[in-house]
C-alpha cells in the first residue's frame, strides 16, 4: 500500500503527457489498421501473447519456449507479410501535416476543371456501358504505375477520356492516370486488392481500383462494363451506385481544397463516407 501511495505522489505532469501521448499513438494505430488484414494480425498477436503468459505462469517450459520462438520469428515476418499496410500507414502519417505548402486558389481551379471533365465522361461511359478506370493522383506519387502504361501528357478533357476507353482500341484495357489537369498515361496496370471480404461479383477493374487506393491516397473512378454503374474507390473503400450529382459531390470533396487564403500548411485528407 505504501508503495502505491509513493508512486501516486511521484506522479507528475510529465507522466500525464507521457500517458496521453501513448494513448494517442495506440488510438492512431488502430485507426490506420481498421478495415485491413492487420486487424486479424493484431488479434492473433494478442492471443499468442496471452497464451505465452499463461504458459509462463504454469511453468510449461516446452510450450513457453515454443511460443517465445514463434513471437521472435513473427517480429521478422510481420514487416514482410504486411508491407502494403505498413507502407500505407507511413504514407498517411507523412501526409498528416506540416510538410506541405500549397497555392490553393490555382489548385482549386485545376481540380474543379478535372472533376467536371471526369464526371461528364463517366456519365457518357455509363450510358454506353463502356468499362473505364480513371485514377486521380493526389500527394502520393504514382510514377511506378504510370511507367507500366503509355505516356500521354495531354490536357484533361471528357472527349479524350471517352475515346481512350472505346473497346478494341490499344489503350482501352487498363487505367488512365490523371495528375492535376493532365492525363499523364493510359493503359496502366494497377495492383489488385487482396481484400477477401469484397463482393465476389466485383471484377478485375473494380479490384484494381480498390487496390491502387490501398497502396496510395489516389482516387479511382470506375465505370462497370456489365451494369454501367459508377463507383469511386478511396482509402480501400468502394462507394457504389453514384449518380451524376453524387459523383461530382464526392470527387469535389476529395479533390478540391476547401480552405480560404493563399497558403495552407496542412495537407488534405480523404474523408470516407
Segment 42-95, tens digit of pLDDT = 777 788 888 888 988 888 888 888 888 888 887 777 777 666 666 666 666 665
pLDDT at 4: 54
Within the chain, which residue ranges are assigned CATH 3.40.1700.10? 103-258
Asked if the model's pLDDT at residue 8 lies above 70, the reply is: no
> What separation in angstroms does the CA of 209 have from each of 18, 61, 84, 213?
41, 49, 15, 7
In this prediction the pTM is: 0.63
**How far is it, in rounded angstroms, from Cα 196 to Cα 146?**
26
Q: How many CA atoms lie within 13 A of 125 on its CB side?
A: 31
Residue percentage of the chain with pLDDT more than 90: 39
pLDDT at 261: 41
pLDDT at 2: 57
**Which fold does the domain 103-258 belong to in CATH?**
YojJ-like (1 (3.40.1700)
The radius of gyration computed from the CA coordinates of the chain, to the nearest angstrom, equals: 24
- Check if the beta carbon of residue 251 is closer than 8 Å to that of residue 118: yes
Asked if the model's pLDDT at residue 267 lies above 70, the reply is: no
Residue 194, all three cell numbers: 487482396
Segment 130-162, tens digit of pLDDT = 999 999 998 888 888 999 999 998 999 999 999
Amino acid at each position: 500500500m505504501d508503495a502505491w501511495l509513493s508512486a501516486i505522489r511521484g506522479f507528475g505532469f510529465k507522466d500525464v503527457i507521457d500517458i496521453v501521448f501513448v494513448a494517442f499513438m495506440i488510438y492512431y494505430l488502430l485507426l490506420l489498421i481498421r478495415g485491413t488484414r492487420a486487424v486479424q494480425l493484431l488479434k492473433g498477436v494478442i492471443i499468442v501473447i496471452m497464451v505465452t503468459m499463461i504458459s509462463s505462469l504454469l511453468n510449461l517450459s516446452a510450450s513457453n519456449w515454443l511460443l517465445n520462438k514463434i513471437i521472435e520469428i513473427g517480429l521478422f515476418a510481420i514487416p514482410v507479410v504486411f508491407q502494403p499496410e505498413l507502407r500505407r500507414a507511413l504514407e498517411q502519417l507523412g501526409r498528416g501535416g506540416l510538410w506541405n505548402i500549397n497555392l490553393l486558389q490555382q489548385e482549386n481551379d485545376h481540380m474543379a476543371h478535372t472533376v467536371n471533365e471526369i464526371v461528364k465522361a463517366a456519365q457518357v461511359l455509363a450510358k454506353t456501358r463502356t468499362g473505364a478506370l480513371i485514377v486521380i493522383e493526389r500527394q502520393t506519387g504514382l510514377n511506378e504505375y504510370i511507367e507500366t502504361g503509355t505516356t500521354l501528357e495531354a490536357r484533361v478533357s471528357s472527349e479524350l477520356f471517352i475515346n481512350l476507353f472505346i473497346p478494341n482500341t490499344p489503350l482501352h484495357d487498363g487505367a488512365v492516370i490523371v495528375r492535376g489537369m493532365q492525363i499523364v498515361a493510359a493503359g496502366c496496370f494497377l495492383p489488385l486488392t487482396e481484400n477477401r471480404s469484397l463482393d465476389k461479383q466485383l471484377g478485375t477493374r473494380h479490384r484494381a481500383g480498390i487496390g491502387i487506393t490501398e497502396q496510395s491516397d489516389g482516387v479511382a473512378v470506375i465505370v462497370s462494363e456489365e451494369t454501367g454503374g459508377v463507383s469511386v474507390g478511396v482509402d480501400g473503400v468502394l462507394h457504389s451506385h453514384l449518380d451524376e450529382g453524387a459523383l461530382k459531390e464526392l470527387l469535389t470533396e476529395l479533390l478540391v481544397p476547401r480552405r480560404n487564403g493563399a497558403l495552407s500548411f496542412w495537407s488534405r485528407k480523404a474523408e470516407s463516407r
